[in-house]
């Protein structure tokens, strides 16, 4: 009995089946979409990281500045 396939393996098999039947223009659009999706994920991650950093430092705005002599 073979190991069950992961979701990623199932999707990759589906993708390979579709690639065999696709035209060049379909492949071009697919590659552009995947690149766009990766950029969106990267931007979302940066936005979440910035929001977390802003929240972790938000307590500082309620403090008086240090007095330096």
Taking the C-alpha atoms of residue 46 and residue 53, their distance in angstroms, rounded to an integer, is: 11
Alpha helices in 1-69 (DSSP H): 7-21, 24-56
The two structure tokens encoding residue 47 = 């936005």
Taking the C-alpha atoms of residue 64 and residue 49, their distance in angstroms, rounded to an integer, is: 26
Taking the C-alpha atoms of residue 69 and residue 15, their distance in angstroms, rounded to an integer, is: 67
Give domain limits for the chain: 7-47
Helix (H, G, I), strand (E, B) or coil at 63: coil
**pLDDT by 10s per residue, the chain, length 69:** 788 999 999 999 999 999 999 999 999 999 999 999 999 989 898 899 999 999 888 877 776 677 776
């Amino acid at each position: 009995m073979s190991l069950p396939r992961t979701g990623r393996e199932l999707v990759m098999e589906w993708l390979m089946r579709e690639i065999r039947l696709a035209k060049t223009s379909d492949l071009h659009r697919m590659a552009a979409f995947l690149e766009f999706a990766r950029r969106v994920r990267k931007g979302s991650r940066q936005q979440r990281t910035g929001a977390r950093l802003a929240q972790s430092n938000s307590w500082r705005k309620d403090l008086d500045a240090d007095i330096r002599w």
